[in-house]
Structure 1
Amino acid sequence: MEATETVLCSLLAVDLTDYCYRVCSRCQRVLPSDNNGLASSSFCNFCKSKEPKLLYRILMSIATDTSVKTVICFDRAATVLFGCSADEFFHFTKLNPLAASMVNQVFDGEMLRMTLTRPHNRNAQHMRVTSIVPLRSGFQPAIVTLTHICTKNASLGNCSTTNHTLRKGRAVVLDDPNEETQTALVADPNQEKSQKKGMILPFKPLTMTFHNVNYYVDMPKEMRSQGVPETRLQLLSNVSGVFSPGVLTALVGSSGAGKTTLMDVLAGRKTGGYTEGDIRISGHPNEQTFARISGYVEQNDIHSPQVTVEESLWFSASLCLPKEISKEQKKVGMDEFYLIWLRYG
């Protein structure tokens, strides 16, 4: 029996360490091995075949809305994602070092729908990708874009040329070590002409994932004086999620739910308190240098000098107070505020 689940995820990283299994050529089940991990027989106990073959696998790190995990990909899924079998892709990256260094940038932030299975045995360390569907309409296999990169850079000696056929594809912003600026490389000549008409600001799309984030502050003295035994007050409890490039993500919740606190923690704006959990940027642990590559716009209520105090209060009340409160009740609250201000102001 196998456990199966379908997830929406973004691809973070691809492991280019080639590894293969000795399997049956008919049913592709792994052949029995000895204590050293070597195949001890070419005979398949399931289909009784005596025809073994080597099956290569690719490890990938993916991010869902709740966690970051490592999955294993074989030829069927590799053909969709890379445009070739796993062993052919390993051979391609060995012949083209630049392609090996650029594969993670090509896939960074790509949204996919994967069906994952995990056999119910003790040897299964990672879930297997049984099917994969790209969610972007202009998706093309990685080997198409990587082949074009190598073809463009062959004259500079960065990598060798290949004979793969290029297909019409999207533009990818790349870092060229031999140029001072970044260039948009495209597989479509007509698209390349249109790119020259405007200016492209260089940037690298990044994916932020966070898993089981907790945030604590010291317990206020007022609460300790009331007999609260805890020394810390928890403001965030096991919050997980993912922010993908090109995807508008809304963080919603009632007042005091912790929306601003979560954003401050993820942006590294919290200088006090205690933060726990795993926060990663494109698969790498978040560091203090994250502020150099990110921007954070905080909420700030600004009142126009052209309106009166009453108009400013009415505008704020209309935005902040619930719809269930009538205009008459809002007006009564404003009048009470005026009386308090006149009495104690």
Structure 2
Amino acid sequence: MPSKRRQRGPGPVDRLSFTENILVIGSPSPPPELGFITSLTNCKKLKRVYINNNPLNGRLPSSIGNFSGAQLNAFVASKCGITGNIPKEIGNISSLESLFLNNNYLNGSLPNTFSGSWKLDKLVLPNNALHGLIPEDLCQLAYLASLDLGGNHLIGRLPDCLGNVTSLRSLNLTSNHFTSKIPVSLWRLTDLSEFNLSYNSFTGSLPQDIGNLTGATLIDLSNNRISGNIPSAIGGLPNLAYLSLASNNFSEQIPESFGNLVKLWSIDLSGNSLTGEIPMSLLQLPLRYFNASGNCLSVKTDQEWKYRFGSDSVLPNGKLCPHTATETSISNFKNYTPRN
């Protein structure tokens, strides 16, 4: 008789994805804990959990820390209507590499236990209602490449120790309530590619040390209270493609060194107190967007600017000074695509 083969059951679950469904946890008040997460912690081989884009409408349970006995390295729960605090027990998950909780309703302060998740590479928490300070505990994450805390209610000074996280490639702190000067330690992040501190209340001036950010492709410091001259060292950033210093208190001239930014395609210097001539060297750049409105700038040769950006890109007298009644400001240098 032929031998019977034992039917093997399914192996251990190592990836769970319920992305973009309509999974709903009931809606009593207050919102319930997401109890199914407690059940998932029993799956000791589980490596990745994707539950994003589901109206779960509940709170993360403290039992999420029980994934410490598993091999979990990714937890993605974006756009799930999650409320409440981020449990401090999340720092118990030493295997965690990626945490995405963006676009929820999380509140409370950031836990000071993230250093327990010492392998964290991506910490993505924008568009919530988190408040308080950035804990210095984050500075111990030696592998952190992406830190995104934009669109929250965080306050105070940035911790100086952030400049010690040399693994950072993307730092996004836009649209919070940070104050004081930008820590000088941040200018040591030579491999930082994206640097966004826009829509805060940073003060002080920019040092020439900003030229150390040689890996930067995007720098956005717009809508702050930064003053003084624009450092000429910015012109030495070989990879810079996007620069916005709009709506600050910068004065004096646009540095001639900006003509060296051979990869720059977007620059916004609007809403400052800049004076002098716009460097003609900017005409040689691959610009697709140039906004210098709301300053008191002039151009040396109108015809070249008209040829480069269109006939209505400059004033008849070559001036861009909205503070003088006899000189009309237009929405020049805005949204212009260069002609071929």
User: TM-score interval w.r.t. the shorter chain?
Assistant: under 0.3
The structure whose RCO (Cα within 8 Å, separation 6+) is larger is 1
TM-score, structure 2 normalization: 0.20
TM-score scaled by length of structure 1 = 0.20
